[in-house]
């Protein structure tokens, strides 16, 4: 593997890139302003980045009409819906409260970045408020905002993210079963796993 010359100081970065423009600094808020709240409440999907002793993790979260709730101008609550029980994000949060979130809004090139701290809670009233199809989340994550700001839309534009003509045919990429079969050196029953996945997901969505 060839060696690359690393950039190792902030001074080197600033010499390379220069200083941020006025708008890049002005947009940063330390709370959820009314305009930022409008952005957030239009988002059905975000990624949640956490840190723990083993390293970093980034988890996708998505839901229509219940992904999270803005509690006040400094906090939002996120129900922890059913998943695979790895609990990577939750394990990290109880050991290191620092979190970062990136919100996407279908059809918009603007994304929202949020940094702050979080707790995991099993407060019964909060969990009950996120009831879905008669089921409650096992826990919720409450994020306290340190900073929130818009991200330049160039990344979404470069990816042409919302253009249906650019959508990938799922048949052209490996399935989850294909990966499990590879990881098990051919032992895992990938065909049954992939065939039954939609039914399993429908029964365990909430």
Q: What pTM value is reported for the model?
A: 0.93
Residue 123 CA to residue 139 CA, distance in Å, equals 8
Contact 50, 92 (CB under 8 A): yes
Task: Name the 3-class secondary structure at 155.
Answer: helix
Does 17 map to a domain?
Answer: no
Contact 76, 66 (CB under 8 A): no
- Do 153 and 177 lie in one domain? The reply is no
- Do 144 and 186 lie in one domain? The reply is no
What per-residue confidence (pLDDT) applies to 3?
Answer: 82
CB atoms inside a 10 Å sphere around CB 116: 19
Does 57 map to a domain?
Answer: yes
- Do 136 and 205 lie in one domain? The reply is no
What per-residue confidence (pLDDT) applies to 1?
Answer: 60
What per-residue confidence (pLDDT) applies to 2?
Answer: 66
Cα separations (Å) of 40 from 76, 115, 200, 203? 10, 14, 30, 29
Residue 203 CA to residue 206 CA, distance in Å, equals 8
Mean pLDDT by 10 residues, the chain (206 residues): 87 95 95 97 98 96 95 98 94 98 97 98 98 96 98 95 96 96 96 93 89
Dihedral pair phi/psi, residue 101, rounded to 5°: -125, 145
Task: Name the 3-class secondary structure at 18.
Answer: coil
- Do 175 and 142 lie in one domain? The reply is no
Q: Using alpha carbons, select from 205, 35, 194, 202 the residue that is nearest to residue 137.
A: 205
The rounded radius of gyration (Å) of the Cα atoms in the chain is: 20
Does 1 map to a domain?
Answer: no
Residue 48 CA to residue 10 CA, distance in Å, equals 26
Contact 112, 148 (CB under 8 A): yes
Residue span of the structural domain in which 36 resides: 23-162
Domain count, the chain: 2
């Amino acid at each position: 593997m060839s060696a690359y010359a690393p950039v190792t100081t902030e001074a080197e970065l600033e010499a390379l890139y220069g200083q941020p423009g006025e708008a890049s600094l002005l947009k940063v808020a330390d709370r959820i302003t009314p305009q930022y709240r409008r952005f957030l409440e239009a988002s059905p999907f975000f990624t949640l980045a956490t840190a723990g002793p083993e390293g970093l993790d980034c988890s996708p979260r998505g839901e229509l009409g219940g992904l999270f709730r803005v509690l006040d101008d400094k906090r939002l609550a996120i129900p922890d819906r059913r998943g695979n029980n790895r609990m990577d994000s939750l394990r990290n949060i109880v050991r290191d409260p620092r979190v970062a979130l990136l919100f996407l809004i279908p059809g918009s090139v603007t994304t929202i970045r949020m940094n702050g701290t979080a707790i995991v809670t099993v407060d019964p009233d909060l969990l009950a408020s996120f009831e879905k199809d008669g089921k409650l989340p096992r826990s919720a994550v409450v994020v306290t905002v340190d900073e929130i700001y818009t991200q330049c839309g160039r990344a979404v534009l470069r990816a042409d993210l919302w253009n249906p003509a650019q959508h990938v045919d799922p048949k052209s990429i490996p399935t989850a079963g294909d990966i499990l079969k590879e990881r098990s050196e051919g032992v895992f029953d990938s065909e049954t796993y992939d065939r039954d996945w939609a039914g399993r997901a429908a029964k365990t969505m909430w």
